[in-house]
C-alpha cells in the first residue's frame, strides 16, 4: 500500500497547480470573496494518524456538510420517526429545488437537499429555543472533532440570511403543508447559522471519524451512535450527498460523501479513514470541482472505493 502521507502531499501539490478550478458560489455574497486558488486535504486514518497538505488548517464555511451532523442529531431525537418528515431517496434535482415539494405534499426527498435539511432542523428545534438548538449542534460537532475552538462565522450567517430568498420560500411552502412544526423564522435562523459553521479540513476530518468507524471515535473509543445508524448515514451520503451529482460522485470516487457550497467535501472510507477536502471552486451541480477530482485520485491510489479496487 502506498504511504498515505506521500499520496496526500502529491495530490495537494497537483491540485494547487491546476487551473481548472470551477466557480466559487456567489449567491451567498460572503462566499464570493473566497480565493479559489486554495486547496486543502486532511485524512484521519484508522491508526489515529492524520495526513494533511495544502490549506488544511484554514477554516472554510462547511455549509451543507453541516447536514450530516444535524441528521445524526435528529435521528438521536426522533429515531425512525424522522422518516415520516423526510424521505431517503435521491432527488435528481438541484440542492435548492422546489419543484418536487408540491407534488410530494411538502415532504422533501432526503435530508441533504435544502428542503430536507430544513425539516431536520425543525426536528432538532422541537421544544428548544433556536439558540439552544444551535448550541447543541455546535457542541456535537466540537465533541466529534474534540476541538472547542470550532465556531460559527456570523458574517456568513448574516450574508445568507439577507439573501436566502429561496430557502425562505422552501420553508414557507413546507409550513403550508404542515411539515414544519416550529415558526419558519426559527427554522431558517437555526439553519443559516449551522450552515455558517467554519472548520478547517483537519477539524472536519477529525469530526467525521465516527462515521468511518461504526459510530465510535477511534481515539477516545467513545461510541457516538450505533453501528447501524452510522452505516445508514453513510448510505444516505453515498446516494444523496452530492444532490444531482451523487451518481457521478459514486461512479468516480466510490465513497460516501457530503459536499457544501463552500467547496468542502467530507468523505468516508469505512474502516479506513475520514477525509476532508476543500477547494472553493464548484462544478455546475454546486459540488467542489477539484475536491471531487482529489478524492477520486486518493480513493484510487489507496484502493478505498467501497466498490472494490
Ligand atoms: N446554506 C446553503 C443554502 O442553503 C447550503 C447549500 C449547500 O451547501 N449546497 O443554500
Measured distance CA(71)–CA(233) in Å, rounded: 8
For the CA of 261, the nearest atom of ligand 1: 8
Q: What is the pLDDT of residue 2?
A: 78
Nearest to 144 by CA among 213, 208, 73: 208
Name which residue sits closest to atom 4 of ligand 1, judged by CA: 114
| Most informative mutation of 28, 62, 156 for ligand 1 (most atoms within 8 A of CB) | 28
CA of 308 to the centre of ligand 1 (A): 32
Atom of ligand 1 nearest to the CA of 167: 4
What spacing in Å lies between the alpha carbon of 11 and ligand 1's midpoint? 27
Cβ of 243 closer than 6 Å to ligand 1, yes or no, is no
* 64-195 belongs to CATH 3.30.300.170: no
pTM of this structure? 0.98
Give 185-241 pLDDT, tens digit per residue.
Answer: 999 999 999 999 999 999 999 999 999 999 999 988 999 999 999 999 999 999 999
Q: Which residue has the cell 469505512?
A: 270
Task: For the chain, give every domain's residue range.
Answer: 4-61+200-302, 64-195
As a whole number, the mean pLDDT across the chain is: 97
pLDDT single digits (tens) 274-303 = 999 999 999 999 999 999 999 999 999 999
Q: Is 97 in the pocket of ligand 1 (CB under 6 A)?
A: no
Which ligand 1 atom is nearest residue 243's CA?
9
> Where does the pLDDT of residue 107 fall: very low under 50, low under 70, confident under 90, or very high at 90 and above?
very high
Q: Which residues pair with 267 in a beta bridge?
A: 257, 275
Instruction: Give the residue numbers marked as catalytic.
Output: 64, 67, 191, 243, 261
Q: How far is the CA of 18 from the centre of ligand 1 (A)?
A: 26
Arithmetic mean of pLDDT, 31-50: 97
Say how many Å lie between the CA of residue 6 and the centre of ligand 1. Answer: 33
Burial class (CB in 10 A: 0-12, 13-18, 19+), 127: exposed
Find out whether the beta carbon of 200 lies less than 6 Å from any atom of ligand 1.
Answer: no
Ligand 1 within 6 A of CB of 64: yes
Distance 195 CA to ligand 1 centre (A): 7
The pLDDT of residue 304: 98
The backbone torsions φ and ψ at residue 139, rounded to the nearest 5 degrees and listed phi first, read -60, -40
CATH for 4-61+200-302?
3.40.710.10
Give the residue among 298, 202, 215 at the shortest CA–CA distance from 255. 298
Q: Does the beta carbon of 261 lie inside 6 Å of ligand 1?
A: yes
**pLDDT higher than threshold 90 for residue 52:** yes
Sign of CA dihedral 228, 194, 254, 246: positive
Per residue in 55-69, pLDDT (tens digit) is 999 999 999 999 999
pLDDT tens digits, one per residue of 1-22: 679 999 999 999 999 999 999 9
182 C-alpha to center of ligand 1: Å?
A: 20
**Same fold for the pair 4-61+200-302 and 64-195:** yes
CA-63 nearest atom, ligand 1? 8
Strand partners for 264:
278
- Over residues 236-247, the mean pLDDT reads 97
Q: Pairing between strand 60-61 and 197-199?
A: antiparallel
Amino acid at each position: 500500500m502506498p504511504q498515505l502521507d506521500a499520496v496526500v502531499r502529491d495530490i495537494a501539490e497537483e491540485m494547487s497547480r491546476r487551473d481548472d478550478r470551477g466557480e466559487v458560489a456567489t449567491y451567498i455574497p460572503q462566499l464570493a470573496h473566497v480565493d479559489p486558488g486554495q486547496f486543502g486535504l486532511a485524512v484521519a486514518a484508522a491508526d489515529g494518524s492524520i495526513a494533511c497538505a495544502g490549506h488544511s488548517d484554514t477554516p472554510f464555511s462547511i455549509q451543507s456538510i453541516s447536514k450530516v451532523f444535524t441528521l445524526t442529531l435528529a435521528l438521536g431525537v426522533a429515531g425512525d420517526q424522522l422518516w415520516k418528515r423526510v424521505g431517503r431517496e435521491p432527488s435528481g434535482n438541484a440542492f435548492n429545488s422546489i419543484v418536487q415539494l408540491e407534488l410530494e405534499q411538502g415532504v422533501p426527498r432526503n435530508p441533504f437537499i435544502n428542503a430536507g435539511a430544513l425539516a431536520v432542523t425543525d426536528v432538532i428545534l422541537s421544544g428548544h429555543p433556536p439558540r439552544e438548538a444551535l448550541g447543541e449542534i455546535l457542541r456535537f460537532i466540537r465533541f466529534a472533532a474534540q476541538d472547542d475552538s470550532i465556531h460559527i462565522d456570523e458574517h456568513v450567517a448574516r450574508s445568507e440570511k439577507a439573501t436566502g430568498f429561496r430557502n425562505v420560500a422552501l420553508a414557507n411552502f413546507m409550513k403550508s403543508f404542515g411539515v414544519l412544526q416550529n415558526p419558519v423564522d426559527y427554522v431558517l435562523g437555526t439553519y443559516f447559522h449551522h450552515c455558517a459553521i467554519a472548520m478547517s479540513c483537519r477539524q472536519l476530518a477529525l469530526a467525521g471519524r465516527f462515521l468511518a468507524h461504526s459510530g465510535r471515535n477511534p481515539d477516545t473509543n467513545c461510541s457516538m451512535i450505533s453501528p447501524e445508524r452510522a452505516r445508514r448515514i453513510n448510505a444516505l451520503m453515498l446516494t444523496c450527498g452530492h444532490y444531482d451529482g451523487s451518481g457521478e460522485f459514486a461512479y468516480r470516487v466510490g465513497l460516501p460523501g457530503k459536499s457544501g457550497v463552500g467547496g468542502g467535501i467530507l468523505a468516508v472510507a469505512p474502516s479506513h479513514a475520514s477525509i476532508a477536502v476543500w477547494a472553493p471552486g464548484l462544478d455546475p451541480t454546486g459540488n467542489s470541482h477539484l475536491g471531487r477530482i482529489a478524492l477520486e485520485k486518493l480513493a484510487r491510489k489507496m484502493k478505498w472505493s467501497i466498490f472494490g479496487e
